[in-house]
């Protein structure tokens, strides 16, 4: 009997030792991509074309744009309007591209209060980006909020942001183009984009899903003794029509959706109670929070690159303990790998054909091939 117990003990010890010696996942090796003297600030992908929005601090025209296709970098002309001085200093906030048309949103701090002065640009890779000056009160004035995304849907283009509320706080705001190159605010009154005394809307990022616009952020519920912040999504049925609000499940005590990638459905990244959270949203509007996501701190001011989908796996690049990490997996099954090469905060990521993942981290552009 004693001998049998001894054998069992040895087997248990061997099992524990084997588990303790399990190797950590291999780090993901990245290669720096040459983009010249400028700093990458935005990434936009369409098929095998990658648009790289750049900031050239020392140039007469600060915003730059390059097209990377089949390993070849081609500059795209950027043409500020002389009547719009802040266009020359603009930093790209968002660039949308549908394979034909370009729509870009730039911003530069200026004026007595150093508020962001917004600029709108349209064009094609062949003709370049041309800036269209707007009336000051299109994006500015006492009721001005923020802007964050330019989007193109099959039904038209839009700029997304916020504006002083019809009733209170800020409303979510959509700007649509006119035929003369000007942009006009669309009324959010009596829609889910409007804040009320008991519910403040707060989207902070936008993308598209087919004909619809998808906004992600949070809503704040206000009641006697209650202030509850919950991650939420606002989705239109077509461009700026048919808006509905979807409160993301399992919001914990405080949550926020930060960014999203949408194809057949949407993958949304944010935080719940200060830890990374990932949700999936299908075309019917049904959302679920994915389980088993590793505990990685994410705060109010942290930036998250949009997640990407590769062969059915979700890939999220994130900073942890001042190091770049690569989280990958599916609901309930995740792997965290170190990143070999990139330093600085990761701010943008896109997946290209051939499983090539491009990443902006710090002031550099990096590339790896996912396996």
For residue 284, the model assigns a pLDDT of: 86
Pairing of strands 49-55, 63-69: antiparallel
Q: Which helix (H) or strand (E) holds 2?
A: helix 2-20
pLDDT at residue 10, rounded to an integer: 43
pTM over 0.85, yes/no: yes
List, for residues 200-241, the tens digit of each pLDDT value: 999 999 999 999 999 999 999 999 988 999 999 999 999 999
User: Do you know the residue count of the chain?
Assistant: 371
Query: Across the beta sheet with 364-369, what order do the strands follow?
Result: 31-33, 364-369, 356-361, 346-352
Q: End-to-end CA distance of the chain, in Å?
A: 50
What number of other Cβ atoms are within 10 A of residue 288's Cβ? 14
Residue with tokens 């730039």: 106
Spans in the chain with pLDDT lower than 50: 1-3, 5-20
Per-residue pLDDT at 249: 98
Residues 291, 292, 298, 304, CA torsion sign: negative
**Residue found under tokens 């605010």:** 185
Geometric angle at alpha carbon 349, from 23 and 130, rounded to 5°: 165
The distance between the two most distant Cα atoms of the chain, rounded to a whole number of Å, is 94
Eight-state DSSP code of residue 196: B
SS3 302: coil
DSSP state of 192: T
Among the listed residues 66, 80, 202, 214, the one whose alpha carbon sits nearest the alpha carbon of residue 149: 214
**CA-to-CA dists, residue 15 to 8, 20, 265, angstroms:** 11, 9, 42
Using CB atoms within 10 Å of the CB of residue 23, give its burial: 0 to 12 exposed, 13 to 18 middle, 19+ buried.
Answer: exposed
């Amino acid at each position: 009997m004693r001998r049998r117990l001894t054998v069992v003990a040895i087997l248990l010890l061997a099992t524990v030792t084997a588990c303790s010696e399990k190797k950590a996942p291999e780090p993901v090796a990245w290669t720096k991509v040459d983009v010249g003297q400028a700093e990458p600030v935005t990434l936009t992908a369409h098929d095998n074309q990658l648009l790289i929005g750049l900031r050239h601090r020392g140039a007469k025209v600060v915003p730059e744009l390059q097209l990377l296709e089949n390993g070849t970098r081609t500059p795209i002309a950027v043409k500020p309007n002389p009547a719009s001085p802040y266009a020359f200093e603009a930093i790209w906030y968002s660039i949308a591209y549908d394979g034909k048309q370009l729509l870009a949103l730039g911003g530069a701090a200026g004026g007595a209060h150093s508020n962001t002065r917004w600029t709108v640009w349209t064009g094609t890779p062949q003709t370049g980006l041309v800036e269209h000056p707007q009336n000051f009160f299109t994006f500015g004035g006492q009721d001005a909020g923020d802007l964050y995304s330019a989007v193109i849907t099959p039904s038209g283009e839009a700029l997304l942001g916020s504006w002083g509320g019809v009733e209170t706080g800020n409303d979510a705001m959509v700007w649509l183009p006119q035929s003369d190159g000007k942009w006009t605010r669309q009324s959010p009154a009596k829609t889910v984009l409007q804040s009320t005394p008991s519910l403040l809307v707060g989207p902070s990022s936008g993308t598209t899903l087919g004909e619809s616009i998808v906004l992600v952020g949070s809503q704040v519920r206000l009641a006697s003794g209650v202030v509850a912040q919950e991650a939420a999504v606002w989705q239109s049925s077509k461009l700026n029509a048919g808006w509905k609000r979807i409160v993301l499940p399992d919001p914990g005590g405080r949550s926020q959706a930060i960014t999203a990638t949408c194809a057949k459905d949407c993958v949304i990244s944010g935080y719940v109670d200060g830890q990374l959270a990932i949700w999936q949203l299908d075309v019917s509007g049904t959302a679920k929070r994915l389980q088993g996501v590793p505990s990685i701190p994410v705060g109010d001011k942290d930036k998250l690159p949009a997640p990407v989908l590769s062969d059915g796996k979700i890939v999220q690049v994130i900073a942890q303990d001042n190091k770049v990490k690569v989280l990958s997996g599916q609901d309930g099954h995740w792997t965290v790998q170190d990143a070999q090469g990139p330093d600085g905060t990761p701010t943008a990521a896109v997946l290209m054909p051939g499983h090539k993942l491009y990443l902006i981290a710090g002031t550099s552009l990096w590339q790896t091939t996912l396996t």
